[in-house]
Structures are given as structure tokens and as C-alpha cells.
Amino acid sequence: MNEAVELLKYHATSMDGYEFFNKNPNSSMPFYNKKHQSYINIEKIHFKVDDPDDYNEVINMLWDPDYAIFFNTDFVKTTRVYNPNLVMIQQRYKKKFGRRQRYFYALATKVEISENKTIVVMTSANINDHNPSNKKYKNEIVKSANLFKTDIDSEEDIRKGKLKKNIEGHSYGFLNVLLEKF
């Protein structure tokens, strides 16, 4: 995750190649999107916490998987906790007409980079979840994530191949959130 954090520090401070977009029309937070190698999406959210007294509460809310719908309305669950600041999640996407439901696993970490800045970063990983697909998955942005190997006791629908594993759909390498206290 160190590589993901370093990449996030770069992407958090650089606007090179990013375009503004807004996933949530009711939000005043700026969302940005960038194409990497013309097919990998990198998403960025710059969240400014105006009231310093709310800073820790906002970080804890963003770190809580129950609040993941704030960024994505699909199903997210924590599948493994390595330590309080490093977890593995599984995210499922709603089924679209004519397609199988999709899912992916990712490692997520929360890092305080200064007294006033915290990073929440998520990077895709190729987890052996016993899906019958023989397809090989590779994270093109956070190369060290490809070295992470683990098995997970997945749900029956995954083991039977009813869901499509979609690491490259979120192998946009990572979703990153930079929180700043003002």
C-alpha cells in the first residue's frame, strides 16, 4: 500500500490530465476523473473539512464501510481486517441489463500524511476467491498490488462463477480521497 499512498500523494496534488465530473449532483465536493493509458480510470475527490472539530469524525465516517454508499451506491463489505488502517473490501456492482453482476476485491488504507491531511486510498488486488474463471488480472497502476497473494473464502455465487470478476473495471488502480482540515 506504500506505493498506492505515494501515487495518491502525486495525484492528490496534480491536476495534470484530470477533468471535473460530478457523480452526485447534490454534492459540492469536486470529483475528478483521469484516463491512464486511455482505458484505466483514476477517480479523485478533494474533500475540505471547514470545521476543524469535524475532521476526525469525517475521516471515521469515510473509513466506515457502512458509509461507502456516500461514494458508490453499490454493495461494499469488509472481507478482512489486517489492522485498523488496512482492510480488504469486496464491492459488488448492480446487475445491468443483459450482463452478469460484477464484483472486485481491493485493499484500502487510511494514512495521515500531516496534521491537516489524511489520505484514504483503495487499490485493486487479484484475490484467489475460487471463481472458476481462468482469466489473469493485473493492476496496471499500483504494480506492487500484483505481488499481494491471498485466498479468501468467497460466497457461493462467486465460487460457481455467477458473478464476473472485474478487477480491470476498478483496476483504475485506485480511488483516492484527500481530506484537508482548514
pLDDT at res. 83: 92
Q: What is the mean pLDDT of residues 113-134?
A: 83
Residue 68 has pLDDT above 60, yes or no: no
Give the whole-angstrom CA distance, residue 172 versus residue 181: 27
Under the banding of pLDDT at 50, 70 and 90, the label for residue 75 is confident
Give the whole-angstrom CA distance, residue 57 versus residue 67: 12
Is pLDDT larger for residue 24 or for residue 55? Answer: 55
Lowest mean pLDDT among 11-20, 41-50, 69-78: 69-78
Give the whole-angstrom CA distance, residue 3 versus residue 137: 18
What is the overall mean pLDDT for the chain?
Answer: 78
Q: What is the mean pLDDT of residues 125-147?
A: 83
The answer to whether 109 and 5 are in contact (CB under 8 A) is yes
Residue 166 has pLDDT above 50, yes or no: yes
User: What are the extents of the domains in the chain?
Assistant: 2-181
The answer to whether 51 and 45 are in contact (CB under 8 A) is no
pLDDT at res. 171: 37
pLDDT at res. 170: 46
pLDDT at res. 124: 81
- Fold of the domain spanning 2-181: Alpha-D-Glucose-1,6-Bisphosphate; Chain A, domain 4 (3.30.530)
Give the whole-angstrom CA distance, residue 92 versus residue 62: 18
